[in-house]
Amino acid sequence: MNKFKDVLKELRKEKNIGQVELANKIGVSKGIISLWENGLREPNMSSLILLSKFFGVSIDFLVGIDK
């Protein structure tokens, strides 16, 4: 079960930003954000770190281990 895609989409919507803006903020392409949110790819560790810093949450939370 891939909770990351759901957590990412929810955090992005809570922050009221689009995929393009998120991609620009963390230095990846919009296509990568789309692939992550559709569960077709998973981020590497450096991307997880950037996402956790951007959203102010732990990596455990991002991947659905910690609520």
What pLDDT score does 67 carry? 57
What confidence tens digit (pLDDT) does each residue in 9-30 have?
999 999 999 999 999 999 999 9
Residue 38 per-residue DSSP state: T
pLDDT at 17: 97
pTM summary value: 0.90
Q: Band of the pLDDT at 2, cuts 50, 70, 90?
A: low
The domain spans of the chain are: 4-60
Using an 8 Å Cβ cutoff, are 37 and 8 in contact? yes
CATH of 4-60, one of 1.10.260.40, 2.160.10.10, 3.30.70.270, 3.30.70.980: 1.10.260.40
Report DSSP state, residue 5: H
Instruction: Return the half-sphere exposure (C-beta side, CA atoms, 13 A cut-off) of residue 25.
Output: 16
DSSP 40: S
Mean pLDDT (whole number) for 60-64? 92
